[in-house]
Structure formats: C-alpha cells, structure tokens
Structure 1
Amino acid sequence: MDHLSQLTQEEFAPRAAQYDQTATFPAKNFETLFDAGLHAPAVPIKYGGLGLGHNSDILTLWMMTRELAKADLAFTRCWEGHTNIQVLLTANANDAQKQRWFEGIVQRGEKWAGWSGEPLSKVPGQTSGIGTTVKVVEGGYIVDGCKVFATGADGLQWAILFVSTAGTGAVRHNDGPANSVLMLACDLSDPSVSFDSTWWKPIGMRGSVSYRVQFDHTFIPKENLIGYPGQYLLEEWQTRFTPQYGAAFLGAAEGAYGYALAHIKKQRREKDAYVQHRIAKSMMNIETMDLWLRKVARLWETGQHQQAKEAGNRFRYLSEKLALDTLEHCTRMCGARAMIQPSPLERIYRDLSFYTLHDNCDRVLASIGQEVLGQESDRAFFNSSGNNQGKS
C-alpha cells in the first residue's frame, strides 16, 4: 500500500487533470501499475498475481481502490472494472481460460472490463435504441448491436460481454430468465467491434472513456464462454462488486477533504467556528465509511456471505450519501475559487456527482427496506420493475 500511495501522489494525481481535459484513457497509469507489479492484484498467486479476493484479503483490494480514488476517480473506474474481472475469472473461468487470460494480464499488461450497459428506456432526443442480441451458431456465438457506458473502450484488450439469448437488456435491464444471460470474453482487436467516442461527453468521469460500442456480427468462439449460463445472476456476483463503488466514493471524499484541509490551513482559518463544524463533520463521515468498508470486507473474508451482501448494499447507500455530504462541506469551506480549474476539487466535484448516479440511490434504499421487512428484493441491481434478476 505504501508503494501505491507513493505512485498515487507522485504520478497519478499529476496526470489526472490531463486525462480529464482530453477525455482520454489513462494508459500511462496502467503502464505504471504494470511496471510496479500492481497490475494483477486479484489474479491468483499461482498465475503470477497478488491473490487478493473475497476469501482471502478483499480489504486490501478495496483499500487500493480507495487510494487511487483520492487522486483520479475516472482512472479508478477503469481499475475497478479491470480488477473485478480478475475476481470473476478466478472463480468462474476454467483452467485453460485462466492460463490463457491471466498470462496476458500478468506478462503483457493486458487490460479488461465487463460491459453490460443496455438501457432500454429512451431519453428526450434519443432516436435509436440501445441493446445487443446474441445468436448461438456452430462453434460459438454471434453478437450484434450496441452497448453504452463501455468503460475503458479502445484502451482495453479484452471485455466480458454480458448478453442475453432472450433479447436486449443484458443483465441490468433484461426481463428474460436468469439462465439466458451469458458471459462472453471478447477480443477487442476484432475489426467487427467499433467505438463511438462522440457519445461520451459527460460532466465528469471523462477519463473513464465509457464510449458506445458497436458489434457488427461479432463472432465469439464457444471456448470464450465463461462459467455456465445464468451464473452471474444466479450466484449474485454483482453483490461482490457493489462495495467497490463505496471504496471509490470514500477515496474521492478523502481527496476532497485533503484539499479542503490544505486550503483552510493556507488561509489560516483554523479558528473559524464554521470551518471547525464542517471539517469535523467531514472527518466523521470519512471515519464512518472506513468502518463500514472494513465491516463488509471482514464478513466476506470470514465466509458470512449473506450478511456480507446485506452489509455491502448498506455501505453502498451510506457511502454515496456521506461522500456527497463531505464534498458539500469541502466546497463550502473552500468557496468559489476552488470550483475553477485547475483546482482538483472542481474535478472531484464533477466526477463524484456523476459517478454516484451509476445506481439509483432511492432504489438501493428501497431494496434495503424490502430486505428488512422480509420482502422480495433485488440486491444485485436494485430493480423494482418486476423482472427476476438477482432476487432474494
């Protein structure tokens, strides 16, 4: 962790503004991680990785996410996807797949992500639909259509495509049976895969380059099917990754807090009573998130899976609320000048405000309430539309 902290302060933080301004993939950051031996944290030790995971030391992986998020939340999003896939492959890939893909990660620094994004409802001004179809053919599968929020886009070498034989919607928005959902590893050098960068003009998280991706009769060989049909939903794999969001929100809040603390000390405002109130609230928010992160990690590491899933969703909700509250305190302490580029607080404000919208916090809270009341709930995707995904 000490080495990662040093890299974060000396290399990742200084590059963050450039990746944000140019909306480009943080390739140099991943090269730095690879050179430092930190590119494969969740790859098993026998394959050359660090062996971090839910059954051993998931806290260290989440603390790494937290550390990176202090400097660059968009880069952290790419890191999250890359490491989540390592966890997924470790548990669900067969031996031949692990040997092939882990070698690429460990030896060549290949980068991965998981892509699901197929929102079916349209927004004002949207004329074309979003979604993929998958057809079973001899020797594999044919994927057609498009996805959005394809984090990492053309900066990656591989992506796991979450697709459904029942139609569009992938995992989050599909109404088909759970066993219709497949995990297909796609080689992104395939010329039938293309990206539309013009789709990605967000207020924040620009460096995550979460483009629109198009599949034009893309063939996926059957040996690239990971696990069994429906495994991601039936085993509630999303619940293992939900705490990563909280770790990232916590790190971003700490980044804002660090800037605010330096700001008020520079201006010698330590005796301002209102500053004292806001800095105290910010610190207690961060301490609370830290305690929850450690609690969720301990539950996973000690095999208390049901309790870990429940606590993970509570941490997801609390971390969003507490991180945004901390951000509000920090901006009020620092004032308008801190909201002007190149202030890092300005970028954190945009990134965190945008990233917390990944899940609907109202639905997250409702799912927690449903669980408390003994009702059926979707603890994987917090979906209340009546489909059968990830229900408990």
Structure 2
Amino acid sequence: MAAFPEALRGSGLSEPEHQGELCTVLRLLGAADLSIARLIEGHINAIALVCRYGTKAQQASLASDVGDGALAAVWGADDAAGLKIVTDGSRAELVGRKILASGAGFVTRPIVTAKAGEDQLMCLLRLAPDHPVDLSGWTAQGMRSTATGAVDLTGIPIGSDEIVGSAGDFMRQPWFSGGAWRFCAAHLGATERLVELFRDHLISRGRAEDPYQLQRVAGCVAAARTARFWVEEAARRFGGGHCNPDATVAFANMTRMVTERSALDVMETVQRGAGLLAFNRPDPIERICRDLSTYLRQPVPDLAMSNAARAWLNSSAPAGEF
C-alpha cells in the first residue's frame, strides 16, 4: 500500500516528492534479491500509472485489491502478433498475449498495453489467481525467480472500467523513459552488495592487504559510488527537482549507461578477485552476478545512450551541468 497516496491509505511512495525514499527502497531490495526488486518495481510502476492517469474509481479499486494482498505489474512486451482490442458490435475484448510478463501466475492486477487500431491503450485487468500462464520459455541464466512468462489474455472483455487514461499515455514523457532510474536503483543496490561481499571475502581470508586486491577494492568502491550519484540525481530530477522534461529523460538515459558500466566493472573485478568461488553456487556472489548480468539487459541501451548524447550536443549546457 505504500505506493498509494495518503488518501488511499498509502504513504505516497510513488508520488514525485517521495522519489528519494523510493530510490532507497529499491536500492535496498536490489541488494537483498533482484527478483523481488524487479517485481516490486513493476508493482509500484503500475500503481503510479493508475494514480497518474486513471479515474478515482480505478484508483480506489486497485488500492482495495492491493490492500487485500493483490500484486500489480506492468506488462508491455508483445510477440509478433501483439495484443489487440477487438470490437464486435457493442462488445470489445482482448485478443492475443503478453510475453516476458514478470510475476505471471502471481500478478492479478496487471496493466497491459494493447492496440486499438493505431492507438496504444493501457488496460487495468483483474485476473483470476489460476489464470493460465506459460513459464516454459523463461530459461534465462538469472532472474529465474521472477516467474516471467507468456500470458494469453484472449477473450477478456474491455470496457471503460478497464481503460486507463487516453491513447499514448503509456509512453508519455518524461514519465516513460525518465522512470528508468527505478530499475537502475535496483541494479545499484546489487552492485553495492557485491562490493560489500568482496570486502567480507578478502577480510575473512586474510587477503585484505594484498596490493592487487586493494587496487580492485578501490576501483569497485569508486564505480559503485559513481553510479549512486547518478541514480539518486536521476530520481531527484524525475521527482520534479529539474523543470526540463527533455533534460530529465536525457539524464535518465545517461544514468542507464553509467549504472550498467559500473555494474559490469564491479562484477568483473569481484569475479577476478574472488576467483572460482564467485562462480560456485550457493555463494551469494555467484547469485548476484547471475541475476545482475541478466537484469542489466534492458531494452534498446544503444538508443538510450545515443539519445542522451544527442540531447547534450543540442544543448548549450556545460558538461558538468548536464
């Protein structure tokens, strides 16, 4: 319930003025378990979308269900056919499925994107706990506990109670791309935890004074701290601390690049420093590296990077004030 406004018995965690607190929550969740962080991030994103674009009735309905234990999510990935809203007379229903749907089998209040002609709409669904899902295709190296799979939604009726907002709201900026800082916060938490585990490893084995290991530790701390500066600033800008929406998106896109590079550098360094132990289950270093390397694969990283670079090139801002 924490993500809802106080009027809906929440603490406003998804509201602009609380993005700093949300950043801390997602960072700590990422340090503990990236699969849980992924599910909670999607849950909070769904609540934020309904609170931003939905009707009062939709907000109250979702808050009531979440208060009773329901899990929300945002399912946006489509297969080649895509999910469509098909109208037959006065009746409209979904035809198709969603893929890469995290929390499949657990989520009962997903927001799904669907095409109605040329328009993209958001639909807030209520699924039965036993709604069929297919997890057989989720064979990724990491993030196995997210229960990511395909969900056939064909036949679900769609009316005004299910449609959230207007056409195009889902990808409206700066909310769509600017919100990337949330998964970066989870990545950051896991990266920081890796650095701490590396410290524990070296101290417990009496290797903390090895000059090569000291060099590795210094590099890891610097990389993690650099990412934290960027992620926290991206959260602040997203929450309204920066008045230019285009700059907010550009900074979030750059934050993706910085966070990914920091995480990759830390993983490589920790694996080299810890040796074979870093690849053996059930050591937590192995688990975090496996999950983090998978979760880092967010969509279109090159496009995010190039858009951020283009935004700076088209501005007159000094590099230090980007």
TM norm. shorter chain > 0.5: yes
- Map Cα deviations across residues 255-290 of structure 1 (whole Å, 9 max, x no partner): 211211110001111111111111111101111111
Separation in structure 2 between the aligned mates of residue 119 and residue 371 of structure 1, nearest angstrom: 31
1:116 lines up with 2:76 in the alignment: yes
Separation in structure 2 between the aligned mates of residue 328 and residue 338 of structure 1, nearest angstrom: 10
* Mapped contact 2:14–2:44 kept (Cα < 8 A): no
* Mapped contact 1:55–1:303 kept (Cα < 8 A): no
Q: Show the counterpart of 1:44.
A: 5
Separation in structure 2 between the aligned mates of residue 78 and residue 137 of structure 1, nearest angstrom: 35
> Identity over the aligned pairs, expressed in percent?
26
- CA distance 1:138–1:225, shift in 2 (3 Å): farther
Q: Show the counterpart of 1:80.
A: 41
Separation in structure 1 between the aligned mates of residue 2 and residue 248 of structure 2, nearest angstrom: 21
- Map Cα deviations across residues 365-390 of structure 1 (whole Å, 9 max, x no partner): 12222223339xxxxxxxxxxxxxxx
Q: Show the counterpart of 1:345.
A: 285
The alpha carbon displacement at 1:303 in A equals 5.0
- CA distance 1:221–1:189, shift in 2 (3 Å): farther
- CA distance 1:68–1:112, shift in 2 (3 Å): same
Separation in structure 2 between the aligned mates of residue 95 and residue 202 of structure 1, nearest angstrom: 39
1:267 lines up with 2:218 in the alignment: no
Q: Show the counterpart of 1:71.
A: 32
The alpha carbon displacement at 1:137 in A equals 4.8
* Mapped contact 2:62–2:109 kept (Cα < 8 A): no
Please point out which of 52, 56, 64 is paired with 1:91. Answer: 52
Q: Show the counterpart of 2:220.
A: 282
- CA distance 1:140–1:242, shift in 2 (3 Å): farther
Q: How does 1:363-374 map to 2 (within 5 A)?
A: 363-374=303-314
* Mapped contact 1:58–1:297 kept (Cα < 8 A): yes
- CA distance 1:141–1:103, shift in 2 (3 Å): same
* Mapped contact 1:242–1:312 kept (Cα < 8 A): yes
Please point out which of 291, 297, 304 is paired with 1:357. Answer: 297
Q: How does 1:161-310 map to 2 (within 5 A)?
A: 161-166=112-117, 176=118, 180-189=119-128, 193-299=131-237, 300-306=239-245, 307-310=247-250
Q: How does 1:117-132 map to 2 (within 5 A)?
A: 117-120=77-80, 130-132=81-83
* Mapped contact 1:43–1:51 kept (Cα < 8 A): yes
- CA distance 1:137–1:45, shift in 2 (3 Å): farther
Separation in structure 2 between the aligned mates of residue 137 and residue 257 of structure 1, nearest angstrom: 57
Please point out which of 85, 95, 114 is paired with 1:134. Answer: 85
- Map Cα deviations across residues 340-367 of structure 1 (whole Å, 9 max, x no partner): 1001111111111111112232222122
Q: Which amino acid aligns with 1:157?
A: T
Separation in structure 1 between the aligned mates of residue 82 and residue 37 of structure 2, nearest angstrom: 26
- Map Cα deviations across residues 145-181 of structure 1 (whole Å, 9 max, x no partner): 1221101011111100111123xxxxxxxxx5xxx01
The alpha carbon displacement at 1:324 in A equals 1.2
**Structure 2 counterpart SS, 1:314:** helix
The alpha carbon displacement at 1:100 in A equals 1.3
TM-score norm. by structure 2 comes to: 0.91
The alpha carbon displacement at 1:233 in A equals 2.4
Separation in structure 2 between the aligned mates of residue 65 and residue 312 of structure 1, nearest angstrom: 16
Q: Which amino acid aligns with 1:114?
A: V
* Mapped contact 2:108–2:129 kept (Cα < 8 A): no
* Mapped contact 2:105–2:129 kept (Cα < 8 A): no
Unpaired runs of at least 5, structure 1: 1-39, 121-129, 167-175, 376-392
* Mapped contact 1:54–1:301 kept (Cα < 8 A): no
- CA distance 1:189–1:221, shift in 2 (3 Å): farther
Please point out which of 41, 61, 71 is paired with 2:22. Answer: 61
Q: Show the counterpart of 1:36.
A: none
| Matched length | 313
* Mapped contact 2:19–2:235 kept (Cα < 8 A): yes
Q: Which amino acid aligns with 1:302?
A: G
Separation in structure 2 between the aligned mates of residue 286 and residue 190 of structure 1, nearest angstrom: 39
1:157 lines up with 2:95 in the alignment: no
**Structure 1 counterpart SS, 2:191:** helix
Unpaired runs of at least 5, structure 2: 316-322
Separation in structure 2 between the aligned mates of residue 331 and residue 272 of structure 1, nearest angstrom: 16
